[in-house]
Amino acid sequence: MQVKLPFIFLCAALCVAVEATAQVPPCGTDAYLIRHARAIERMEARYNEAFPVPGATERSSHVKTIPVVVHIFHQGGPENISDAQVQSQIQVLNEDYRKLPGTNGDGNGVDTEVQFCLAHIGPNGECTNGIVRINSPLADHQSFQRTMLKQISGWDNTRYLNIYVVQDIDNGSGVLGYSSYPDGPPEEDGFVVLHDAFGTMGTAQAPQHLGRTASHELGHWLGMYHTFQDGCGTDTCTTGDLVCDTPPVEDPHYGCPVSANTCSNDVPDVNDLVDNYMDYTDDACKSMLTAGQRDRIQNMLQLFRFDIWQTGNTLATGCDSAYVPVPCAAVSNFATLVQQVCTGNPVQFVSTALNDPIAWQWYFPGGTPSTSTAEDPVVSYALPGTYDVALVVQNSIGGDSLMVPGMITVQDPEPGQLPPFSEGFESLLFPPNGIVVENPDGENTWVLDTVAVQAEGIASAHMDNLTYTNYGQSDGLRLPTFDLLNFGATPWLRFRWAYARSSPNYSDQLVVLASTDCGVNFTQVWARTGAALATGPTQTTPYIPDSTTNWKNANINLTAYANSDHVIIKLVNVTDGGNYLYVDRINLGDQFVGIEDALNGDETITAYPNPANGIVWLRGIANAPADARVDLRDATGRGILSMPLQNVLKNGIDLGAQADGPYVLSIRSRTGSKSLMIAVQH
Ligand SMILES: [Ca+2]
Ligand SMILES: [Ca+2]
Ligand SMILES: [Ca+2]
Ligand SMILES: [Ca+2]
Ligand SMILES: [Zn+2]
């Protein structure tokens, strides 16, 4: 069966480039489509299987109600918007998606028969107003932190639509919001909107003051693409936004165009729907969704978001029409991004208490401070152990307390082992040598491989990304803790890897992370994905290296971590449903084995241009050992010149004065030498 797929992969990249010179795209959802290309492809395949006839719908006769929770990430300023501003946004979602008569949403479109309700009952049966306020530095939000918002405050996405309101997105990038799609990873589900593009009052600012940013992002969450997806495309039904009755649109519309017709391949050729919520026009100019969009939404809800609108769930969340809301006392709850730390490391706690508490009383037995009345205290622990945390909250109706026993585990950062360390998996024990496999989802993970032609010996470690469908999951090979402080030499991490993709449209990722604070924070020291990760041809069958030349080298300088005697390093596979990834010959030490490893990042070393008639450059050299030199000889072996490799990397070698013919360029260091042929041709 052919999978209909919007041409997002190329378009998303091009569109961003085009828009950057013209207008800032207010919606950051394209990044999700790129990041989760495999999940989107699966979503469309499942959709087409369930609804093979374009336009056919599983719409039931009754209106579907979706319970909503709004998480406000703020830092105590005006971005901590009022309950009324939140309610004004929910009102707009209902006006727009129900086409309520006499409202801004009563445009030239249809009623989608979906409505939204701020939850009155929380996931554990708590009385709630459906709003969670979190005083956190995450309010100043970077989109790569998207899963952290959810980790701090996220309600079961099969029961609630999680909406996040933040102070800023990507340092004032101009992005007003972004969303996930159906059938994606639960840890990213929901959408994010800037506080000043949320609701119709308070901090909401023109031209995004009528709540249509959320109406637009909600459209993505319900499975809709932009009306200008894939430009004019080739077909109004099966390309672009995959909705038959939305005419194709070449580029996004901004501002408030009266009318436009940017594509003429629609039959009949009609005007663009500049008033559609899924375009980029100003809030005041958006007022409609089509019947085709309604059908797609209804089908998506039927297929991927079935539980959320079931009657049992509307009852359980206080969203049925008979529910009479009552004033709620404060309900205690709190969170932290890390629960295992070293002695002395700061831990940021945040209150996620419900119903707008006016007072917070924290207890951190064993911590410094040991109590706090802040909403977001930072606490550290001087001694190793396991510590309880408690929070008492209060509002005008009443209060609540919560104690989490043993929430925080504190360890002494014991000095790790001194390098050298090496592991080629030849013992056939797995995981060997103090290596720990980190497999958070309990599914596909690193295993021993004895089938491939290995980088060395008979065994390696591999990840099967081919059958792995939990896209976005990370699986780590955590090396033992190392003492790099007392190592006394430049520490280098080296390993070999092999990989092939299963489609040019997506790729798994291999990243190397390092931590010096007992694993609280990891920094990325190396990463490869896509063509830079691939060492073999794209194939849909399991990739099995059949030659040692299928392997590439990673050489990573860890000098930045040489000030710590407890460095944790892990090699992490982030899956996107690609193909097999192998690692072998992991080595941490000060020496390279052979010049090729010493010089070679992971590229083949070449000279260019070749043939040459002037300056020649060397490509593919990531590391130049201080002692490395370059010699040039002619075909008779006569020495022409000799100079430090570092000079050659900086200035190249001028062969303009040499006679035509073949020359041998050698790179030499104490670890070996490598020769290249260069032809001079004037
Ligand atoms: Ca269309
Ligand atoms: Ca047209
Ligand atoms: Ca091996
Ligand atoms: Ca896993
Ligand atoms: Zn969008």
Q: What is the 3-state secondary structure (H, E, C) of 626-639?
A: CCCEEEEEECCCCE
For residue 230, give the ligand nearest its CA.
Answer: 1
Instruction: Name the band, by pLDDT with cuts 50, 70 and 90, for residue 670.
Output: low
User: What percentage of the chain has pLDDT greater than the value 70?
Assistant: 93
Distance 25 CA to ligand 5 centre (A): 8
The answer to whether residues 449 and 460 touch, using CB atoms and an 8 Å cutoff, is: yes
Q: Which residue has the tokens 């006016």?
A: 358
Distance 259 CA to ligand 2 centre (A): 11
Distance 444 CA to ligand 2 centre (A): 47
Distance 354 CA to ligand 2 centre (A): 49
The pLDDT value recorded for residue 673 is 67
672 burial via Cβ count (<10 Å: 0-12, 13-18, 19+): middle
Distance 62 CA to ligand 5 centre (A): 28
For residue 242, give the ligand nearest its CA.
Answer: 1
The answer to whether residues 189 and 220 touch, using CB atoms and an 8 Å cutoff, is: no
Residue 591 vs residue 351, higher pLDDT: 351
The model's pLDDT over 60-100, given as tens digits with 9 standing for 90+, comes to 668 999 999 999 999 999 999 999 999 999 999 999 999 99
Distance from C-alpha of 40 to C-alpha of 418, rounded to nearest angstrom: 45
Select which of 95, 188, 217, 423 is catalytic: 217
Distance from C-alpha of 223 to C-alpha of 213, rounded to nearest angstrom: 16
- Asked which of 8-17, 110-119, 262-271, 638-647 is least confident by mean pLDDT, the reply is 8-17
Burial call 597-616: b when 16+ CB within 10 Å, e when fewer: bbbbebeebebeeeebeeeb
Neighbouring residues of 312: CB distance < 8 A, sequence distance ≥ 6:
none
Domains of the chain: 8-56+64-219+289-315 (3.40.390.10), 334-411 (2.60.40.10), 421-591 (2.60.120.200), 598-680 (2.60.40.10)
pLDDT at 440 over 80: yes
- Asked which of 169-178, 205-214, 624-633 is least confident by mean pLDDT, the reply is 624-633
pTM to 2 decimal places: 0.76
The model's pLDDT over 599-645, given as tens digits with 9 standing for 90+, comes to 544 456 778 888 999 999 887 776 677 778 898 998 888 888 888 88
Q: Which residue has the tokens 């059949």?
A: 546
Query: Alpha helix locations (H) across 51-102?
Result: 83-98
**Ion ligand 5: residues, Cβ under 5 Å:** 27, 29
Distance from C-alpha of 553 to C-alpha of 495, rounded to nearest angstrom: 6
Distance 446 CA to ligand 4 centre (A): 8
For residue 438, give the ligand nearest its CA.
Answer: 4
Characterize the bridge pairing of strands 581-589 and 606-608: unpaired
Average pLDDT over the chain, rounded to an integer: 90
- Asked which of 109-123, 411-425, 546-560, 593-607 is least confident by mean pLDDT, the reply is 593-607
Q: Known catalytic residue: 217?
A: yes
Q: Got the DSSP string for 472-527? A: T-EEEEEPPPB--TTT-S--EEEEEEEE--S-TT---EEEEEEESSTTSS-EEEEE
For residue 26, give the ligand nearest its CA.
Answer: 5
CA distances from 609 to 635, 652, 677 (A): 19, 11, 12
Distance from C-alpha of 435 to C-alpha of 438, rounded to nearest angstrom: 10
- CA neighbor of 77 nearest in space, from 141, 140, 131: 140
Distance 8 CA to ligand 1 centre (A): 14
The model's pLDDT over 512-522, given as tens digits with 9 standing for 90+, comes to 999 998 888 89
Distance 50 CA to ligand 5 centre (A): 25
Distance from C-alpha of 130 to C-alpha of 162, rounded to nearest angstrom: 10
The model's pLDDT over 483-499, given as tens digits with 9 standing for 90+, comes to 999 998 889 999 999 99
- CA neighbor of 185 nearest in space, from 664, 676, 574, 596: 574
Instruction: Name the band, by pLDDT with cuts 50, 70 and 90, for residue 7.
Output: very low
Q: What is the mean pLDDT of residues 237-258?
A: 94
Strand runs labelled E in 180-308: 191-194
Q: Got the DSSP string for 42-62? A: HHHHHHHHH--STT-----SS
The answer to whether residues 669 and 621 touch, using CB atoms and an 8 Å cutoff, is: no
For residue 180, give the ligand nearest its CA.
Answer: 5
CA distances from 546 to 435, 550, 605 (A): 26, 7, 22
Characterize the bridge pairing of strands 629-634 and 639-644: antiparallel
- CA neighbor of 499 nearest in space, from 449, 468, 459, 542: 542
The whole-angstrom distance between residue 585's C-alpha and the CA centroid of its chain comes to: 29
Sheet-wide strand order for 334-336:
334-336, 347-351, 378-381, 367-368
